[in-house]
Protein backbone atom coordinates (compact mmCIF):
# COMPACT_ATOMS: atom_id res chain seq x y z
CA UNK A 1 0.00 0.00 0.00
CA UNK A 2 1.50 3.34 -1.08
CA UNK A 3 1.87 6.36 1.18
CA UNK A 4 -1.11 8.10 -0.39
CA UNK A 5 -3.31 5.00 -0.17
CA UNK A 6 -2.51 4.85 3.55
CA UNK A 7 -3.22 8.56 3.82
CA UNK A 8 -6.59 8.09 2.15
CA UNK A 9 -7.56 5.51 4.78
CA UNK A 10 -6.47 7.58 7.76
CA UNK A 11 -8.48 6.94 10.94
CA UNK A 12 -10.99 9.71 11.47
CA UNK A 13 -10.03 9.87 15.15
CA UNK A 14 -6.67 11.32 14.03
CA UNK A 15 -8.56 14.04 12.14
CA UNK A 16 -10.67 14.72 15.24
CA UNK A 17 -7.51 14.95 17.35
CA UNK A 18 -5.87 17.39 14.94
CA UNK A 19 -8.97 19.60 14.96
CA UNK A 20 -9.08 19.47 18.76
CA UNK A 21 -5.42 20.50 19.05
CA UNK A 22 -5.82 23.10 16.30
CA UNK A 23 -8.73 24.73 18.13
CA UNK A 24 -7.37 24.35 21.68
CA UNK A 25 -3.90 25.85 21.17
CA UNK A 26 -5.04 29.28 19.83
CA UNK A 27 -7.51 29.51 22.73
CA UNK A 28 -4.62 29.05 25.18
CA UNK A 29 -1.95 31.03 23.30
CA UNK A 30 -3.32 34.03 21.38
CA UNK A 31 -2.00 34.22 17.82
CA UNK A 32 -3.39 37.73 17.20
CA UNK A 33 -4.04 37.48 13.48
CA UNK A 34 -4.94 40.79 11.84
CA UNK A 35 -8.63 41.40 11.05
CA UNK A 36 -9.89 43.23 7.96
CA UNK A 37 -13.20 45.07 8.52
CA UNK A 38 -15.80 44.28 5.87
CA UNK A 39 -18.42 46.67 4.48
CA UNK A 40 -21.57 45.06 5.99
CA UNK A 41 -20.01 45.30 9.47
CA UNK A 42 -19.00 48.93 8.92
CA UNK A 43 -22.60 49.68 7.94
CA UNK A 44 -24.00 48.18 11.16
CA UNK A 45 -21.46 50.21 13.12
CA UNK A 46 -22.41 53.35 11.18
CA UNK A 47 -26.11 52.80 11.88
CA UNK A 48 -25.52 52.52 15.64
CA UNK A 49 -22.93 55.30 15.75
CA UNK A 50 -24.90 57.87 13.75
CA UNK A 51 -28.32 57.61 15.44
CA UNK A 52 -29.64 60.65 17.30
CA UNK A 53 -28.92 61.18 20.98
CA UNK A 54 -31.32 59.25 23.18
CA UNK A 55 -32.39 57.05 20.28
CA UNK A 56 -34.75 54.18 20.97
CA UNK A 57 -33.50 50.89 19.58
CA UNK A 58 -35.01 47.42 19.51
CA UNK A 59 -32.78 44.38 19.88
CA UNK A 60 -34.36 41.04 19.05
CA UNK A 61 -32.75 37.93 20.52
CA UNK A 62 -33.79 35.18 18.13
CA UNK A 63 -31.35 32.42 19.01
CA UNK A 64 -30.64 29.82 21.64
CA UNK A 65 -27.69 28.46 23.61
CA UNK A 66 -26.45 26.24 20.76
CA UNK A 67 -25.37 29.29 18.75
CA UNK A 68 -24.55 31.45 21.75
CA UNK A 69 -20.74 31.30 21.24
CA UNK A 70 -21.21 32.77 17.77
CA UNK A 71 -23.99 35.30 18.34
CA UNK A 72 -23.72 36.42 21.97
CA UNK A 73 -20.47 38.38 21.31
CA UNK A 74 -22.36 40.41 18.67
CA UNK A 75 -25.19 41.17 21.08
CA UNK A 76 -22.73 42.18 23.80
CA UNK A 77 -20.75 44.41 21.40
CA UNK A 78 -23.91 46.17 20.14
CA UNK A 79 -25.21 46.60 23.71
CA UNK A 80 -21.90 48.17 24.75
CA UNK A 81 -22.00 50.50 21.77
CA UNK A 82 -25.64 51.44 22.48
CA UNK A 83 -25.05 52.12 26.18
CA UNK A 84 -21.89 54.07 25.31
CA UNK A 85 -24.07 56.33 23.13
CA UNK A 86 -26.81 56.56 25.82
CA UNK A 87 -29.49 54.94 23.70
CA UNK A 88 -32.65 53.42 25.14
CA UNK A 89 -32.55 49.69 24.56
CA UNK A 90 -35.70 47.58 24.25
CA UNK A 91 -35.12 43.82 24.01
CA UNK A 92 -37.55 41.19 22.78
CA UNK A 93 -37.32 37.59 21.60
CA UNK A 94 -38.99 35.49 18.92
CA UNK A 95 -37.26 32.41 20.36
CA UNK A 96 -38.10 31.22 23.90
CA UNK A 97 -34.43 30.91 24.85
CA UNK A 98 -33.77 34.44 23.58
CA UNK A 99 -35.12 35.92 26.83
CA UNK A 100 -32.32 34.37 28.86
CA UNK A 101 -29.77 35.19 26.17
CA UNK A 102 -30.79 38.84 26.50
CA UNK A 103 -30.56 38.77 30.31
CA UNK A 104 -27.11 37.21 30.17
CA UNK A 105 -25.87 39.70 27.58
CA UNK A 106 -27.07 42.65 29.68
CA UNK A 107 -25.64 41.07 32.83
CA UNK A 108 -22.24 40.84 31.18
CA UNK A 109 -22.15 44.52 30.15
CA UNK A 110 -23.42 45.79 33.50
CA UNK A 111 -19.91 45.68 35.01
CA UNK A 112 -18.77 48.16 32.37
CA UNK A 113 -21.93 50.28 32.59
CA UNK A 114 -23.04 50.06 36.25
CA UNK A 115 -25.30 53.12 35.97
CA UNK A 116 -27.75 51.66 33.48
CA UNK A 117 -31.15 51.22 35.06
CA UNK A 118 -33.83 48.66 34.23
CA UNK A 119 -36.98 50.26 32.91
CA UNK A 120 -35.20 53.55 32.25
CA UNK A 121 -32.23 52.66 30.03
CA UNK A 122 -33.26 49.18 28.98
CA UNK A 123 -36.08 46.67 29.24
CA UNK A 124 -36.48 42.97 28.48
CA UNK A 125 -39.96 42.43 27.03
CA UNK A 126 -39.54 38.67 26.86
CA UNK A 127 -40.67 36.07 24.37
CA UNK A 128 -43.70 36.07 22.14
CA UNK A 129 -44.66 33.20 19.88
CA UNK A 130 -45.88 33.83 16.35
CA UNK A 131 -42.81 34.96 14.40
CA UNK A 132 -43.81 37.05 11.40
CA UNK A 133 -47.31 37.76 12.75
CA UNK A 134 -45.85 38.93 16.07
CA UNK A 135 -43.60 41.43 14.28
CA UNK A 136 -46.56 42.65 12.24
CA UNK A 137 -48.56 43.09 15.43
CA UNK A 138 -45.66 44.99 17.03
CA UNK A 139 -45.79 47.28 14.01
CA UNK A 140 -49.40 48.10 14.85
CA UNK A 141 -49.42 48.05 18.63
CA UNK A 142 -46.49 47.24 20.94
CA UNK A 143 -48.59 47.32 24.10
CA UNK A 144 -51.06 44.77 22.83
CA UNK A 145 -48.24 42.48 21.70
CA UNK A 146 -46.26 42.87 24.93
CA UNK A 147 -48.67 43.92 27.70
CA UNK A 148 -45.98 43.04 30.29
CA UNK A 149 -42.21 42.68 30.33
CA UNK A 150 -40.34 39.41 30.93
CA UNK A 151 -40.81 39.76 34.71
CA UNK A 152 -44.57 40.38 34.33
CA UNK A 153 -44.40 44.12 35.11
CA UNK A 154 -47.11 46.00 33.20
CA UNK A 155 -45.68 47.96 30.27
CA UNK A 156 -47.58 51.05 31.46
CA UNK A 157 -45.32 51.11 34.56
CA UNK A 158 -42.07 51.00 32.56
CA UNK A 159 -40.91 54.51 31.73
CA UNK A 160 -38.74 53.56 28.75
CA UNK A 161 -41.89 52.34 26.98
CA UNK A 162 -43.78 55.64 27.44
CA UNK A 163 -42.81 56.86 23.97
CA UNK A 164 -43.16 53.52 22.23
CA UNK A 165 -46.49 52.83 20.60
CA UNK A 166 -45.36 50.68 17.69
CA UNK A 167 -42.27 49.69 15.69
CA UNK A 168 -42.06 53.03 13.88
CA UNK A 169 -41.10 54.70 17.17
CA UNK A 170 -37.76 52.90 17.09
CA UNK A 171 -34.80 54.55 15.36
CA UNK A 172 -33.62 51.17 14.20
CA UNK A 173 -33.86 47.45 14.92
CA UNK A 174 -31.02 44.98 15.31
CA UNK A 175 -31.93 41.30 15.09
CA UNK A 176 -29.65 38.55 16.32
CA UNK A 177 -30.71 35.46 14.51
CA UNK A 178 -29.78 31.82 14.10
CA UNK A 179 -32.78 30.62 12.12
CA UNK A 180 -36.46 31.20 11.60
CA UNK A 181 -38.19 33.28 12.87
CA UNK A 182 -35.36 35.76 12.79
CA UNK A 183 -33.67 38.45 10.78
CA UNK A 184 -35.41 37.58 7.51
CA UNK A 185 -38.82 38.15 9.14
CA UNK A 186 -37.65 41.45 10.66
CA UNK A 187 -36.60 42.65 7.19
CA UNK A 188 -39.81 41.47 5.54
CA UNK A 189 -42.12 43.12 8.07
CA UNK A 190 -40.30 45.82 10.08
CA UNK A 191 -38.43 47.28 7.11
CA UNK A 192 -40.57 46.40 4.11
CA UNK A 193 -43.97 47.06 5.70
CA UNK A 194 -43.15 49.73 8.31
CA UNK A 195 -39.98 51.34 6.94
CA UNK A 196 -37.87 50.92 10.08
CA UNK A 197 -34.12 50.44 9.38
CA UNK A 198 -33.08 46.89 10.21
CA UNK A 199 -29.56 45.55 10.75
CA UNK A 200 -28.45 42.36 12.37
CA UNK A 201 -26.15 39.54 13.18
CA UNK A 202 -26.47 35.90 12.25
CA UNK A 203 -24.61 32.62 12.28
CA UNK A 204 -22.09 32.20 9.46
CA UNK A 205 -24.21 29.49 7.80
CA UNK A 206 -27.15 31.88 7.59
CA UNK A 207 -25.22 34.64 5.82
CA UNK A 208 -25.81 33.33 2.26
CA UNK A 209 -29.58 33.32 2.74
CA UNK A 210 -29.55 36.85 4.19
CA UNK A 211 -27.08 38.48 1.82
CA UNK A 212 -29.72 39.25 -0.89
CA UNK A 213 -31.26 41.70 1.57
CA UNK A 214 -28.00 43.70 1.64
CA UNK A 215 -28.93 45.80 -1.37
CA UNK A 216 -29.37 49.38 -2.58
CA UNK A 217 -32.80 49.61 -0.92
CA UNK A 218 -31.02 48.85 2.38
CA UNK A 219 -33.59 46.23 3.28
CA UNK A 220 -30.87 45.08 5.63
CA UNK A 221 -28.58 47.99 6.46
CA UNK A 222 -25.68 45.77 7.50
CA UNK A 223 -24.90 42.30 8.72
CA UNK A 224 -22.52 40.75 11.22
CA UNK A 225 -21.80 37.32 9.79
CA UNK A 226 -20.72 34.68 12.28
CA UNK A 227 -17.88 34.97 14.73
CA UNK A 228 -15.82 37.03 12.26
CA UNK A 229 -18.55 39.66 12.02
CA UNK A 230 -18.67 39.84 15.81
CA UNK A 231 -14.86 40.11 16.02
CA UNK A 232 -14.85 42.91 13.44
CA UNK A 233 -17.48 44.81 15.43
CA UNK A 234 -15.52 44.33 18.65
CA UNK A 235 -12.50 45.78 16.86
CA UNK A 236 -14.52 48.75 15.56
CA UNK A 237 -15.71 49.70 19.04
CA UNK A 238 -12.20 49.00 20.44
CA UNK A 239 -13.54 46.48 22.93
CA UNK A 240 -12.03 43.07 22.11
CA UNK A 241 -14.02 40.23 23.64
CA UNK A 242 -14.65 36.54 23.14
CA UNK A 243 -15.14 36.89 19.36
CA UNK A 244 -11.64 38.28 18.78
CA UNK A 245 -10.23 35.51 20.99
CA UNK A 246 -12.26 32.85 19.21
CA UNK A 247 -11.29 33.99 15.72
CA UNK A 248 -7.77 32.55 15.99
CA UNK A 249 -9.20 29.12 16.86
CA UNK A 250 -11.78 29.32 14.08
CA UNK A 251 -9.14 30.40 11.57
CA UNK A 252 -6.87 27.48 12.46
CA UNK A 253 -9.83 25.06 12.23
CA UNK A 254 -10.68 26.42 8.76
CA UNK A 255 -7.03 26.19 7.70
CA UNK A 256 -6.91 22.56 8.86
CA UNK A 257 -10.09 21.77 6.92
CA UNK A 258 -8.53 23.32 3.79
CA UNK A 259 -5.38 21.24 4.34
CA UNK A 260 -7.55 18.11 4.72
CA UNK A 261 -9.40 18.93 1.48
CA UNK A 262 -6.07 19.48 -0.33
CA UNK A 263 -4.51 16.23 0.95
CA UNK A 264 -7.72 14.33 0.18
CA UNK A 265 -7.72 15.62 -3.40
CA UNK A 266 -4.00 14.97 -3.95
CA UNK A 267 -4.54 11.39 -2.73
CA UNK A 268 -7.61 11.09 -4.96
CA UNK A 269 -5.61 11.96 -8.08
CA UNK A 270 -2.31 10.21 -7.16
CA UNK A 271 -3.94 6.87 -6.26
CA UNK A 272 -5.76 6.82 -9.60
CA UNK A 273 -9.27 6.83 -8.14
CA UNK A 274 -10.00 9.73 -10.46
CA UNK A 275 -9.46 7.40 -13.48
CA UNK A 276 -11.53 4.60 -11.91
CA UNK A 277 -14.49 6.93 -11.64
CA UNK A 278 -14.12 8.00 -15.26
CA UNK A 279 -14.08 4.40 -16.50
Partner 1 sequence: MKRQFPLVITFFVGMLVIVSQFIPHQPFGHLSDTLESWFLIISGFAILLGQLNLLKVNIIKIHRKSRNWQYYIVCVVSFVVMITIGILWGTQDQPGLLGQGSALVSFFGRKPFDYIFKYFFENLSATMFSLLAFFMASASYRAFRARNLESSLLLISAVLVMLGRTTIGTWLTGWIPENLTYLHLPQIADFIMKYLQKTGQRAIMICAGLGIVGSSLRIILGIERSYLGGK
Q: Which residues bind partner 1 (CB under 8 A)?
A: 10, 12, 15-16, 18-20, 23, 33-36, 38-39, 64-69, 96, 99-100, 103-104, 128-130, 133-134, 136-137, 140, 144-145, 150-152, 204, 207-209, 211-212, 225-226, 228, 231, 247-248, 250-258, 260-261, 263-265, 268, 274, 277
Q: Which of 191, 271, 231 is nearest to 6 (CA)?
A: 271
CB of 50 to partner 1, least distance (A): 23
Q: Which neighbouring-strand residues pair with 176?
A: 61, 201
CB of 140 to partner 1, least distance (A): 6
Pick between residue 134 and residue 177 the one whose CB is nearest to partner 1: 134
Pick between residue 18 and residue 55 the one whose CB is nearest to partner 1: 18
In 178-279, which ranges are continuous DSSP H helix? 183-186, 207-210, 226-236, 242-270, 273-278
Pick between residue 93 and residue 171 the one whose CB is nearest to partner 1: 93
CB of 53 to partner 1, least distance (A): 30
Residue pair 172/158 in contact (Cβ under 8 Å)? The answer is: no
CA distance 186 to 209: 14
List phi, psi (to 5°) of 194: -115, -5
CA distance 88 to 195: 20
Pick between residue 171 and residue 201 the one whose CB is nearest to partner 1: 201
Pick between residue 83 and residue 95 the one whose CB is nearest to partner 1: 95
Cis peptide before 52 (omega within 30 of 0): no
Amino acid sequence: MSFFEKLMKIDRRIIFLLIFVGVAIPLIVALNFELEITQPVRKVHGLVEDADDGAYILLSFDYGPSTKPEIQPMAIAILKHAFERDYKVVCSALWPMGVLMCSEAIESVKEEYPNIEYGVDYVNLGYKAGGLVTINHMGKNMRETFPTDAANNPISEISIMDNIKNLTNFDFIVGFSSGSPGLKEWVQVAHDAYGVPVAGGSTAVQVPSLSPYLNRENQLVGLLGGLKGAAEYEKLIASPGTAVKGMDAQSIAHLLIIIFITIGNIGYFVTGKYKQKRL
